[in-house]
Amino acid sequence: MAGTAHVTPRQTNAFAITIRHTEIDDIHLATCVTASAVVIPAALAVAARTALDGATLRRGLAAGYAAAIRFGTAVGGASVLRSGTWPTIAVAPVTAAAVAGVMLGLDAPSLAQALRIASLRSISRVGRSGARTARWYLFGASVECGVDAAAAGAAGLLLDESVALPNVMDEELAARPIGDGEIGALAQKPFCTSRQALSGAAAYIALSERERIDPAQVAHVRVEVPRDYAWMIENPSRPGERLSTATSQAFQVAAAALDRSVLYDVVRAGPFSDAILAFEKRVEVVASDAFDALYPRLWPARVTVRMNDGREHTLTLEHPPGDPEVPLSFAELQAKSPAYTAEMHELCNRAVDEGPAALLGALETI
């Protein structure tokens, strides 16, 4: 699907890329896995080819979230980010295989084979993102090959048990009860941002509204975050690199201070105003050990704003909007996606009961 300009849920690879590329998908904090970008396209890939009911769809979704979080724990979760591992792509094949396998009705041994086959398609490091990176293509391909692994399991293909697998989980996953408790543990993003930069941006917004801060009078902004990911968000945005606007704490704070509509722009084509670029230079990211007891269960930030007259305002935020403790309202969900309307919401709600075919139809109206 490389180079595809328009996609539908029937194109597994490209649809997975589209979901993940928005930077508004959900995330499980402890594992740093953005599960929906894998689970949803995998479920729709099966639904596009097989007549299924709503109950089967729900079982597949629940299995996918459970697999994403359990395998995310197996690969080391958020702790492996610093070594260059991308947890979501590492678990994408086995997660997609779990979704598709459950929806296809595989028994425990067959599902275990599908997961083992999928695990051999797992990669974990794709390098930093640039303007022409293959990062997203590889992610979509990982989701698609997981769905294919489920088809292999359904066809009775076996993998020699002597083959060493990365992050092994065999029949245990198939045998354990799967509920939807994992879904409730996911955090959402209220706008287009890396989760690492969200708490700092949200803390600035809350602080500026509480203190009625005039951005023209701001001399300096210090954002303290856990040491484990400060290095990821300490750089300014880079012209032509869309992802840098989501990972740069300085850019996120500057947009929060001067033009919040930029935060909701998932395209981020630029160019951005001179005022935003100038405000970026006033933002400093500080790696702090103060949050060691909280991370990775929580990803907090402490923001200190120093005004031109020397006054300082400080706010520490442990739960930004979208965390399970502060769930987004329907209005906030609508705000973060211009295509997401009340009509669309109603279609998707009905689709869960009516079955995957209805969900496909609903999503293709976007």
d(CA 307, CA 313) in angstroms, rounded, equals 8
Is the domain of 55 the same as that of 184? yes
Quote the pLDDT of residue 69.
Answer: 87
- Domain's final residue, options 139, 161, 189: 189
Quote the domain boundaries for residue 123.
Answer: 12-189
CATH assignment of the domain containing 247: 3.30.1330.120
Clarify whether residues 117 and 205 are in a common domain.
Answer: no
**Residue 133, in any domain of the structure:** yes
Asked if the structure places residue 90 within a domain, the reply is yes
Position 258, amino acid:
L
Asked, for residue 361, whether it belongs to a domain, the answer is: no
Tell me, yes or no, whether 199 and 307 share the same domain.
yes
Name the E strands within the chain: 218-226, 283-288, 301-307, 312-317
Within a domain: 360: no
In order, the DSSP letters of 235-257 are SPP-TT-HHHHHH-HHHHHHHHH
- Which residues pair with residue 305 across a beta bridge? 221, 313
Do residues 47 and 173 share a domain?
yes
Q: Are 149 and 93 in contact (CB under 8 A)?
A: yes
DSSP-derived 3-state class of residue 262: helix
**Cβ atoms within 10 Å, residue 325:** 10
- Domain presence at residue 24: yes
Residue after which a domain boundary falls, among 164, 189, 214: 189
What is the model's pLDDT at position 331? 78
DSSP 8-state code for residue 82: G
For residues 244 and 282, membership in a common domain is answered with yes
Residues 40 and 149 in one domain: yes
CA distance 36 to 143: 11
Q: Which pLDDT belongs to residue 209?
A: 97
Residues 205, 180 share a domain: no
Give the pLDDT score at 48.
84
Q: What distance in Å separates the CA atoms of residue 336 and residue 67, rounded to the nearest whole number?
A: 27
Mean pLDDT by 10 residues, the chain (366 residues): 58 78 85 91 88 84 88 82 84 93 91 89 72 80 94 89 58 51 82 95 98 97 95 91 92 97 87 96 96 92 98 97 90 70 64 62 56
* 148 and 208 co-located in one domain: no
For the chain, give the number of residues. 366
For residue 350, tell me if it sits in a domain.
no
Q: Residue 281 has which token pair?
A: 């230079």
CA dist., res. 190 & res. 28, Å (int): 15
Structure tokens at 110: 């067959």
* 42's tokens: 């995998």
- Residues 6+ positions from 18 with CB-CB distance below 8 Å: 7
Tokens 């953005």 sit on residue: 34
Two tokens, residue 293: 């007891």
pLDDT of the residue at 309: 97
Tokens of 327: 């769930």
- How many domains does the structure of the chain reveal? 2
Longest alpha-carbon distance in the chain: 72
3-class state of residue 273 by DSSP:
coil
Residue where a domain stops, chosen among 189, 219, 253 = 189
Is the domain of 183 the same as that of 38?
A: yes
248 within some domain: yes
Q: How many CB atoms lie within 10 A of CB 283?
A: 25
CA distances from 133 to 130, 158, 180, 225 (A): 5, 35, 35, 28
In terms of domains, do 151 and 253 share one? Answer: no
Residues 235 and 171 in one domain: no
Q: What pLDDT does residue 91 have? A: 92
CATH number at residue 102: 1.10.4100.10
Instruction: Count other Cβ atoms within 10 Å, centred on residue 195.
Output: 24
Of residues 222, 185, 204, the one with CA closest to residue 320: 204
Q: Give the type of residue at 50.
A: T
Which pLDDT value is given to residue 116? 87
Task: Assess if residue 328 is contained within a domain.
Answer: no
Same domain, 50 and 172: yes
Burial 352-364 (b: 16+ CB within 10 A, else e): bebbbbbbbebbe
